[in-house]
Structure 1
Amino acid sequence: MHYIVFDLEWNQPYTLEPNMIRRSGFPFIGEIIQIGAVKLDESLQIVDQFEVFITPKFLPIMHHSVEKLTHITMDKLRKEGVSFRRGCEKFLRFVGSDGILVSWGPDDINMLMDNAFCHKVHVHQEVPWFDAQSLYAKTMHDCSQQYALQKAMDEMQVQAPNLQAHNGLHDAICTAMVCQRFPFLEALQKKREKQGKQRCFYGLSRHEHKIFESIVTMPRIFRQSNRAKTACPVCKEPLQLDPIVGVVKHRFLSMGSCKEHGTFGVHWYVGKSISKHLGKRYYVSKMVTNAPKGLRELYARKK
């Protein structure tokens, strides 16, 4: 068994307006431009490391704040980057058949799944994932507060003078060093025993994607029948939807069942748009996907 501590850097769109989503075909908040990771053995010693730069496909213009923060330029990505499909496949080989993913906070695993989804990367197995940030907060402070990685490094007296923040590989190394300084393995074991099932990295396949615009208030998003009704992607009969639950921030999820073709995942991504004439409005990007075991377990936990 190995622990794969990873960190991602991603480019951001200049706007998340519905028209931009339609043009790019990319409904998420970031496209990965760097994957950095280190492999830890069962005693949490670093035994290998991994880094790959990704040339973005959907967001080919680097956001100025991302470039300033990461010092990654689009010129560098064009020269040194590979496609996300190739980079992710290399990363999955690095993870191996016995790897357990670890990241500081939930943003990286969500971003990894979003990008694998949009780039149609086949994930051949469900890889367990754990949040080192939440384990640290619970173990060291008995709370659920989100501690910044630098704060945890200061508290654990982790010195990394030659490592640069907002670099995927360097942040992965810093996260690993924090895990070495607090009872990470004990906390992880308690989490597994308490939770029973851990969250996983798994693959999704898109069957349908629609965008609904100009919704006045949040409560109306799922109340209107034309947004709640969803058809089976195979026979086009209405899916029987389970209750919609919040997953994280702007993400919502339901399971839809068809008597003949089984269960599908129904995902909603809620965003805000500002209209010069109408003011603030909400829009919903809705997708229907397959429903692998990991997605069904995530829904059951959130429900």
Structure 2
Amino acid sequence: MVYIFLDLEWNYPLQIDRKTKQSCELYEEIIQIGAVKVNENLEFIDMFKVNIKPRVYPIINEEVKKLTHLTEEQLEKGMHFEAVNLAFLDWCGENYIFLTWGEDDIRVLHQNQHAYGIEQVRVENYGDVQKIYALQITKDYRQYALEKVLQTHNINGLIAHNALNDAWNTLQICRCLKLDIKKGLNDLSNPEEWKQKGNIFRRMGRKDEILAKLPKRYCFSNVYESKRSALKDSELTDFKCYICGSSVTYSRWVQQRKDKYISIAECTNGMKYFVRINFLKKKNGWRSNKIIYQITEKQEQLYKEKGQKQENAMKKIKENSKKKK
């Protein structure tokens, strides 16, 4: 088994509009293929780089020129896509997995192969390093630009928007950050799990909108013998994070006033909430309601102050108890 780190550069029409996209069978035409072949330990085996002579869009879009620094003169000397595709598949061999930064490269490669009616790479032999990075490093399931990741982690990369350079840069991210490719590929093999995590990310993008709906008040019909027994009841205290859906863990409960208790709840992804439980005395015990707030600095400070006051009071009680003995 070998890994092939793949990157493509492509050209597209000078004028971009919906009609162009809908009427054109090949909207993005590949003009350069770059790939690096390594073993399962990410040790170098070989590399592949070819410029492709464009036929659908022989004039290079100015934006593409600025990014890739490729000119019509350079590409005029390139090979036809059919010949490049045959040479590339032969170079790949039989037992390989493509690794790309994002999903676009495989999609565009398939589009070009389909447009020319030639042999396609096997779609199952593919992994998205950007998603593996999100799973294992940032854990936020966002999309990150390749250059941004290199910069963030101080990885020395080659000049961007050159197909071979970007393939090499993707490999360097895997090496320097010690990404577990096998585990990442296995994690990505479950599309439902990734979809669920992607939904969490989308909710993170709407975090302000979602949290703006707080505070939320929940009333409970249970009657408790004491406030202490109420605070131990998971039916009263438990809730799921409004952003990621994970369970929350509470800091200790602190008495704010006579019949009000407060705590800070935190989910597995670090989202914090300020929670207040109000008690109301009834003939047969205590009734309660719970209010969940988007935490503020003021509330966090209030919790610390009340917690410290409670600790000081407990210390005095213990000291007085010792003196009496």
**Alignment TM class, shorter chain as reference:** 0.5 to 0.7
Residue equivalent to 1:152 = 149
Distance 1:124 1:118 in 2: 14
TM (normalized to structure 1)?
A: 0.58
CA contact (8 A) 1:35 1:168 kept: yes
SS of equivalent to 1:5: strand
Higher relative contact order (CA 8 A, sep 6+): 1
Aligned to 2:108: 111
- Describe how 1:159-198 pairs up with structure 2 within 5 A: 159-160=156-157, 163-182=158-177, 183-191=179-187, 194-195=190-191
Residue 66 of structure 1: aligned partner: 64
Aligned residues: 193
> Residue 67 of structure 1 aligns to a residue in which SS?
helix
The one-letter amino acid of 1:156's match is H
- The percent identity for this pair of structures is 34
Corresponding residue number in structure 1 for 2:99: 102
Instruction: Tell me what 1:45 maps to.
Output: 43
Contact 2:36 2:46 in 1 (8 A): yes
Determine the C-alpha separation between the residues in 1 that align with 2:56 and 2:189. 40
Output the CA distance in 1 between the equivalents of 2:62 and 2:186: 42
After superposition, give the CA deviation of every residue in 1:47-69 in whole Å (9 maximum; x if it has no partner). Answer: 11000111111111111111121
Do structure 1's residue 11 and structure 2's residue 14 form an aligned pair?
Answer: no
Name the CA shift for 1:149/1:126 in 2 (closer, same or farther; >3 Å). Answer: closer
Which of 132, 136, 139 lines up with 1:142 in the alignment?
A: 139
Q: CA deviation at 1:195?
A: 4.6
Paired with 1:59 and 1:150, the residues of 2 have a C-alpha distance of: 27
Query: Given that residues 11 and 29 in structure 2 are in contact (C-alpha distance below 8 angstroms), is that contact kept between their aligned partners in structure 1?
Result: yes
- Aligned to 1:34, the other structure's residue is in SS state strand
- C-alpha deviations, 1:122-175, integer Å up to 9, x for none? 237555111000110111011210011112212333113xx2210000010000
- Please name the residue that 2:296 is paired with: none
2:8–2:33 contact (8 Å) kept in structure 1 = yes
Residues 161-215 of structure 1 show CA distances to partners (whole Å, capped at 9, x for unaligned) of xx2210000010000010112323254243256459x9xxxxxxxxxxxxxxxxx
Structure 1 residue 128 corresponds to structure 2 residue 132:
no
CA distance in 1, matches of 2:31, 2:13: 13
Could you tell me how far apart the structure 1 residues matched to 2:190 and 2:19 are?
44
RMSD: 2.5
Provide structure 1 residue ranges, at least 5 long, that are not aligned to the other structure. 199-303
Which amino acid in 2 is paired with 1:10? W
Alignment CA distance shift 1:56-1:26 (3 Å): farther
Partner residue, 1:76 = 74
SS of residue paired to 1:102: strand
With over 3 angstroms needed to count, the CA separation of the structure-2 counterparts of 1:157 and 1:184, relative to structure 1, is farther
- Which residue does 1:265 correspond to in 2? none
What whole-Å deviation, never above 9, does each CA across 1:16-70 have from its counterpart, x for those lacking one?
4577569xx7334310000000001010112110001111111111111111211
Contact between 1:26 and 1:118, CA under 8 Å: does it hold in 2? no
Q: Would you tell me which structure has more helix in proportion to its own residues?
A: 2
* Residue of structure 2 equivalent to 1:228: none
- Counterpart CA distance in 2 for 1:21 and 1:151 is 29
| Aligned position for 2:88 | 91
TM-score (norm 2): 0.55
- CA distance in structure 2 between the partners assigned to 1:69 and 1:191 by the alignment: 33
| Distance (whole Å) between structure 1 residues aligned to residue 171 and residue 8 of structure 2 | 14
1:29 corresponding residue in structure 2: 27
Larger CA Rg, structure 1 vs 2: 2
- For the 8 Å contact 2:135–2:184, the answer to whether it is kept is no
Larger fraction in strand: 1
Unmatched 5+ stretches in structure 2: 195-325
